[in-house]
Amino acid sequence: MSTLRSLNKTLLAAGLAVATLLSPLTSQAAEKLKIGTVVWAGYGPFYVADKKDLFKPHGLDVDLQFFNDPALIPTAMLSRALDGGMLTYDQVVASVAKGLKHRVVMPIDFSNGGDAIVADASIQSVADFKGKKVGFNPLSPSDFLLAYALQQNGMSDKDINAVNMTPEGIPGAMASGNLPVGVTYEPNVSQILSMGGGDKFKVVYSSKDAPGLITDVLVFDEAVIAKKPAAIKAMMQGYLDGLAYMQAHPEESAEIIGEVLGVSAEEAVEQMAGAYNIPLAEMGKSFTPGDDTHSFHGSGAIIAKLLKDNGQIPTIPDFSKTYDAQFTEALAQ
């Protein structure tokens, strides 16, 4: 992962705008949102919107705060160091199960191979993980993907030698030969696959094998939703504008996203293929109750069972309390 970046901006004017959800923020006083995020290709529309000042027409100033460890973002939200965060849905399920009032306001993207379990060439399948060191970040998407992969192969964390490690620490550990299996996400996956001439490591299991289970989402606490609804709506409009800009200007957008990822535009395009950004017309599927894994109810049931079985949450939450669909509904009108 590239060096942490601070994309700070100044307020466009003094004071905070007070507005209703369906009314735009006033142009005289831009409101500010401090949002926790990580370096991830699926967040490209936000990076483009930030670079091209696409939040500004909606009267919003967004301060993206980059974290090395996504597991730290919910804690920062709880302390009010952040207004909101870009998380994965399993993190929200865990937070709500523990009594926090974090709510998804918008699905951002589905991981489509961007999260992966990478192993040295001698390992042929998930079954070969038995008894081996597996590096991953506990209580993170890496943990969830690994747990699901093990479950699908009739195994559990008791069958492996778990090593607590951040996603960014995986490439170095594997390069040193001390770690045969690691769970991480782009750009770390591509970095690992390119080491040793390109034939030393391979992807054994990825989010392509678990479609819809790893969904990136925009999250705010209930108190922030009540206090800043117009700002939240404006941020979502900026995302949609960023997505439209990416489609209209793919080469420039790849340059912008590559700069954030710390890779070339060509490499950024490759990494972006590992995530599917969700357009407004498809966002409603995530909030619609159903067994499909693209629904928060369907994927939530699988996520919550795995988390509870692993002792990470005390109980399975009510999935309708993990999201607030009012913003996508308002934008779709």
What digits encode the pLDDT tens for the residues 32-73? 999 999 999 999 999 999 999 999 999 999 999 999 888 899
pLDDT band at 227 (very low <50, low <70, confident <90, very high): very high
For each of the domains in the chain, give its residue range(s) and CATH number, in order of start: 31-110+213-314+322-332 (3.40.190.10), 115-209 (3.40.190.10)
Starting at the edge strand that comes first in sequence, how are the strands of the sheet with 60-66 ordered?
6-7, 60-66, 31-37, 84-88, 215-221, 102-111, 275-277
Q: What is the pLDDT of residue 29?
A: 66
Mean pLDDT of 197-221: 92
Q: 155: which DSSP letter?
A: -
Q: Which amino acid is at 101?
A: K
Name residues whose C-beta falls within 8 Å of residue 187's C-beta, 6 or more positions apart in sequence. Answer: 1, 2, 39, 41, 261, 262, 263, 267, 271
pLDDT band at 17 (very low <50, low <70, confident <90, very high): very low
Q: Which of 272, 221, 286, 274 is nearest to 242 (CA)?
A: 272
What digits encode the pLDDT tens for the residues 133-186? 999 998 778 888 998 899 899 999 999 999 999 999 999 999 999 999 999 988
What digits encode the pLDDT tens for the residues 236-266? 999 999 999 999 999 999 999 999 999 999 9
What digits encode the pLDDT tens for the residues 298-331? 999 989 988 898 888 999 999 999 999 999 999 9
pLDDT higher than 70, residue 98: yes
Q: What is the pTM of this model?
A: 0.78
Q: What is the pLDDT of residue 224?
A: 97
Measured between alpha carbons, how far is 70 from 177 in angstroms, rounded to an integer?
Answer: 26
Average pLDDT, rounded, for the chain: 89
Name residues whose C-beta falls within 8 Å of residue 259's C-beta, 6 or more positions apart in sequence. Answer: none
pLDDT band at 187 (very low <50, low <70, confident <90, very high): confident
Contact between residue 304 and residue 311 where contact means Cβ atoms under 8 Å apart:
no
Measured between alpha carbons, how far is 286 from 216 in angstroms, rounded to an integer?
Answer: 11
pLDDT higher than 90, residue 196: no
Contact between residue 194 and residue 264 where contact means Cβ atoms under 8 Å apart:
no
